[in-house]
């Protein structure tokens, strides 16, 4: 196994794992619960890490690179014409799903 991705925010590491799983690549998160040791360990050593099998590293690196470089754009609802932030997957005004 090889270390693929590490970040101080567990939610970003978990998101990366979910992206890989959607593409059929398994992964394992290490250091998920080690945050309490941050005083005795250097902060970067207590960051959550995403590890993948050696055979999946190249494809996984490409997927993570796409995740990191994906532009986040605001969008306008096709139904009610409300402006929505990039974080919304459905319109906050009328709950219509974002058109892909």
Please give the Cα distance from 34 to 26 (Å, whole number): 22
Query: Same domain, yes or no, for 53 and 77?
Result: no
Domain count, the chain: 2
- Check residues 100 and 23 and name the one with the higher pLDDT: 23
Q: Summarize pLDDT for 12-49 with one digit per residue, the tens.
A: 999 999 999 999 999 999 988 876 666 677 777 788 99
Backbone angles phi, psi at 46, to 5 degrees: -105, 5
Please give the Cα distance from 3 to 19 (Å, whole number): 16
Query: Same domain, yes or no, for 87 and 61?
Result: no
Provide the pLDDT for residue 87. Answer: 81
For residue 91, what are the domain limits? 72-100
Query: Same domain, yes or no, for 55 and 89?
Result: no
Q: Summarize pLDDT for 70-84 with one digit per residue, the tens.
A: 667 899 999 999 999
Query: Same domain, yes or no, for 16 and 39?
Result: yes
- CATH number at 23 reads 3.30.70
Query: Same domain, yes or no, for 62 and 79?
Result: no
């Amino acid at each position: 196994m090889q270390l693929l991705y590490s970040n101080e925010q567990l939610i970003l590491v978990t998101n990366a794992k979910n992206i890989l799983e959607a593409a059929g690549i398994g992964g394992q998160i290490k250091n998920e619960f080690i945050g309490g040791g941050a005083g005795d360990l250097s902060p970067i050593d207590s960051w959550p890490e995403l590890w993948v099998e050696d055979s999946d590293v190249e494809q996984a690196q490409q997927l993570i690179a796409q995740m990191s470089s994906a532009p986040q754009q605001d969008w306008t609802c096709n139904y009610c014409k409300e402006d929505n932030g990039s974080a919304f997957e459905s319109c906050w005004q009328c709950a219509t799903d974002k058109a892909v």
